Amino acid sequence: MRDISRRGAIGIGAGAAAALSLAGCGASTSSGGPKDRKDPGGSGGDRDNRHGSQAGRARPIGDGSTSYTGKQPHQPDAPRPLEPGEEPPQFVVFSWDGAGEVGNGLFPRFLDLAKEHEAHMTFFLSGLYLLPESKKRLYEPPNNPRGASDIGYLTDDHIKQTLKNVRRAWLDGHEIGTHFNGHFCAGNGTVGNWTPQQWRSEIDQAKSFVKEWRTNSGWTDLPSLPFDYDKELVGGRTPCLLGQDNLLPTARELGWRYDASSPGGRQVWPAKKQGLWDLPLQQIPFPGRSFEVLSMDYNILANQSVNSTNAPSHNHPAWRTQATQAYIQGFKRAYETNRAPFFIGNHFEQWNGGIYMDAVEEALKHMAREKEKGGDIRLVSFRQFVDWLDVQKPDILDKLRTLDVGQKPAGGWSAFTKGGGEGGSGTPSGTASEGSGNAA
């Protein structure tokens, strides 16, 4: 296999990823997913009739595409500051770019998995996935022709499935962020060249497609989305991890709290950038290789099959194991050392036989088993994580940031967070960056 990583061959990243994940996918099911099950407690299936208390007090917003239904269900307890000498939790955030359901069952599969293990996730919804293709000229992308998009518009049936799953996701306690709209990653129209004003136009349109899907589709027989998107939307991830510097001033003006668009980071405690929490995908160990890989399905694929999403099947078992172990080793490195939050990005895709979906599922199950052993492991959304960050004492966060990748606190956590520790101990591990790729 040719090593493409040093030459930036994964620069097409999420652009290709999002397009491939929602175009040309069949209706086949992926292996290893939870089976359909009845759940009178409301953990899956058609949630519309299982949150009657919320439906009963829903207050339509605008044309009724969205509604106010009160406090979001299934949220963790209110966060509190770390006590002196207390060990920080191990946070893990699973996030999904695009978040469209195209009949392959991946959206509900991971909602079921999350429910089974009491996990919360962030779904970065692409606004165009709620806009019928017949109305595509409503979209005016900056520096691109009206109605243009580098990801495909969904069929009407798939829009309806996406609406159903987005609605269920929020009622299950997950976060609905944004992946913006047309996913332009190349040429003069790339998001990497957009001004803050153009980002504002893109965001306004992304929000309008969510807030006005009923008007744009003419569908009056479907339930509204049970949230106020103006209040729900507090962060996003840009296409191909491009354009963050010009996005951030606009995001700050809109009151966003974080951005997940940095082009690759390390497993260390985060800081703010232009007033927002900067929460990047991270370089993690890549088993069997001397370099690290970015914590996203497409970047792992690019280093295994040189961007092919349908490589010969005899490779799949070893690649599935390698991808699974990359996530697990990234988790283990943080959990056993500096406790830096671990961020994982994915797409609802079936590349190379669905091995990357299986890998992220097995990794989540591994983390859940560690949690069951008594570890303070929290599988949360980005919004829930920044809720925790925002109540911590600044001096404690400053101290956590002194810990390098794979570095334990000197004297143990009891001394470190009490004030007696003087930084990390031991040799930082896993800081090689070759092969990680800088776009996803």
Per-residue pLDDT tens over the stretch 124-167: 999 999 999 999 999 999 999 999 999 999 999 999 999 999 99
Of 408, 392, 294, 285, the residue nearest 340 (C-alpha): 408
CA distance 281 to 361: 18
CA distance 220 to 218: 6
Q: Which residue in the block uniquely carries the two structure tokens 């909602």?
A: 111
Distance of alpha carbon 228 from the chain centroid:
20
Q: Is residue 290 classed exposed, middle or buried when 0-12, 13-18 and 19+ CB atoms within 10 A define those classes?
A: exposed
Mean pLDDT of 163-181: 98
**What is the pLDDT, as a whole number, of residue 283?**
98
More confident site: 437 or 45: 437
pTM of this structure: 0.86
Q: At CA 176, angle to CA 172 and CA 180, rounded to 5? A: 160
Confidence of residue 282 (pLDDT cuts 50, 70, 90): very high
**What is the pLDDT, as a whole number, of residue 189?**
97
**What is the pLDDT, as a whole number, of residue 263?**
85
Per-residue pLDDT tens over the stretch 288-341: 999 999 999 999 999 999 989 999 999 999 999 999 999 999 999 999 999 999
**What is the pLDDT, as a whole number, of residue 54?**
57
Sketch out the chain's domains with CATH numbers: 5-24+72-425 (3.20.20.370)
Residue pair 431/266 in contact by the 8 Å Cβ criterion: yes
Using the CB atoms, write b or e for 162-186: b if 16+ within 10 Å: bbbbbbbbbbbbbbbbbbbbbbbbe
Using the CB atoms, write b or e for 373-390: b if 16+ within 10 Å: eeeebbbbbbbbbbbbbe
Q: For residue 408, give the H/E element and its range.
A: strand 408-409
Output the six-digit token pair for 167: 């609605």
Per-residue pLDDT tens over the stretch 65-121: 999 999 999 999 999 999 999 999 999 999 999 999 999 999 999 999 999 999 999
